[in-house]
């Protein structure tokens, strides 16, 4: 059993430590943009650390906490970034004495610097469980290669420059989600082919393997709720933690800061009209993502991968909607107003 990055709890712990290491000097225990399950969607300049693992965990093992915890709060955190330039310096490389600031993990690690690790050990576990025949083994090899390619696609979207403005952060977010959609599409055909070749008994073995994995991680504090198995797992509701992204009222820290924007920017009538459009776009984005939640009837890997693509497409649509309105509003601001707007998220504490 893999207890490295294949463990969802380990990934959340690494992301949480990295997300806070550069923020306010790392002196605050929890950031306001924290996910319900304890992870973070934004870690410095990076959106969605360990993305390929979250796709893999939900698609193959039915563990959806990592994937479905992403939603509108991450768009909000892109607009009102928690990080200032000094905070982001922690992620740009070694400090003045040759050491990384508070030992922040490298962006390469958070992006997934070894695609083979994704498709290696888990594929071996599947092979041991099903004892594939020749055709199934060939299909499993194709799936392994597709997962490796998918990991490389997502890794290529790792930022090489730090986005310092809200429009640039949303653009980076769009690029990252776009890479994830391409990666999911690349896995779709080989996964479907492999699954179609399985006998009922083999599906049952894979389901048992997924259940054992979840039990082992749960015993080590790795999961917060049960999830569906590999093959015909029970049709349970969304895993705990996904409610932050699907339908729940946003916490106070994520409410639209209309009064603060007014006090900081003192917008004129033209700017105020554009700001209203932006606020409406954000409400629409939240509605889009609230209506596209984890399905109860996705009980097979191909069906869950379809759900992944649906969720990512909804996120892309929501980000695009907000990005267009934000770009129009931002273009109407003076440099001083832009600086005041960027400071809104940076000044917050938990």
Q: Per residue in 26-81, pLDDT tens?
A: 777 789 999 988 899 999 999 999 999 999 889 988 888 889 999 999 999 999 99
Quick one: which of 346, 329, 323 has its CA closest to 167? 323
In this predicted structure, what is the pLDDT of residue 314?
96
Q: Fill in the DSSP letter of residue 246.
A: T
Out of 233-242, 249-258, 296-305, give the one with best mean pLDDT: 296-305
Query: How many angstroms separate the CA atoms of 166 and 326, rounded?
Result: 8
Could you tell me whether strands 42-43 and 46-47 are parallel, antiparallel, or unpaired per DSSP bridges? Answer: antiparallel
Residue 90, pLDDT above cutoff 50: yes
Domain ranges of the chain: 8-219+238-346
In this predicted structure, what is the pLDDT of residue 102?
52
In this predicted structure, what is the pLDDT of residue 77?
96
Residue 267, pLDDT above cutoff 60: yes
pLDDT tens-digit series, residues 91-148: 766 554 444 455 667 777 788 765 556 655 677 888 999 999 999 999 999 999 999 8
Residue 263, pLDDT above cutoff 60: yes
> pTM for the full model?
0.88
In this predicted structure, what is the pLDDT of residue 247?
57
Quick one: which of 52, 48, 56, 57 has its CA closest to 19? 48
31, two tokens? 């950031």
What percentage of the chain carries pLDDT values higher than 90?
55
CB–CB of 313/288 below 8 Å?
A: no
CB–CB of 66/42 below 8 Å?
A: no
């Amino acid at each position: 059993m893999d207890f490295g990055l294949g463990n969802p709890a380990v990934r959340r712990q690494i992301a949480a430590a990295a997300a806070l290491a550069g923020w306010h000097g790392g002196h605050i225990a929890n950031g306001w943009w924290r996910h319900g399950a304890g992870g973070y969607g934004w870690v410095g300049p990076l959106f969605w650390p360990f993305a390929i693992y979250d796709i893999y965990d939900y698609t193959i093992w039915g563990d959806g906490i990592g994937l479905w915890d992403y939603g509108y709060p991450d768009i909000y955190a892109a607009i009102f970034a928690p990080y200032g330039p000094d905070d982001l310096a922690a992620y740009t490389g070694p400090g003045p004495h040759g050491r990384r600031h508070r030992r922040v993990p490298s962006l390469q690690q958070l992006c997934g610097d070894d695609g083979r690790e994704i498709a290696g050990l888990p594929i071996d576990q599947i092979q041991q469980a099903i004892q594939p025949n020749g055709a199934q083994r060939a299909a499993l090899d194709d799936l392994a290669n597709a997962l490796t390619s998918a990991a490389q696609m997502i890794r290529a979207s790792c930022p090489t420059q730090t986005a310092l403005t809200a429009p640039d952060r949303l653009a980076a977010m769009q690029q990252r989600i776009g890479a994830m959609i391409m990666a999911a599409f690349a896995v779709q055909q080989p996964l479907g082919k492999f699954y179609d070749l399985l006998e009922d008994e083999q599906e049952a073995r894979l389901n048992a393997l997924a259940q054992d994995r979840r039990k082992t991680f749960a015993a080590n504090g790795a999961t917060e709720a049960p999830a569906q198995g590999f093959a015909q797992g029970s049709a349970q509701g969304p895993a705990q933690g996904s409610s932050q992204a699907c339908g729940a009222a946003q916490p106070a820290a994520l409410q639209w800061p209309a009064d603060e924007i007014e006090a900081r920017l003192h917008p004129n009538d033209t700017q105020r009209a554009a700001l209203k459009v932006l606020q409406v776009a954000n409400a629409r984005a939240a509605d889009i993502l609230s209506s596209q939640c984890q399905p109860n009837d996705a009980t097979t890997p191909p069906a869950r991968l379809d759900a992944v693509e649906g969720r990512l497409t909804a996120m892309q649509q929501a980000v695009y909607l907000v990005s267009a309105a934000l770009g129009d509003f931002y273009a109407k601001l003076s440099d001083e107003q832009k600086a005041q707007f960027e400071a809104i998220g940076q000044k917050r504490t938990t």
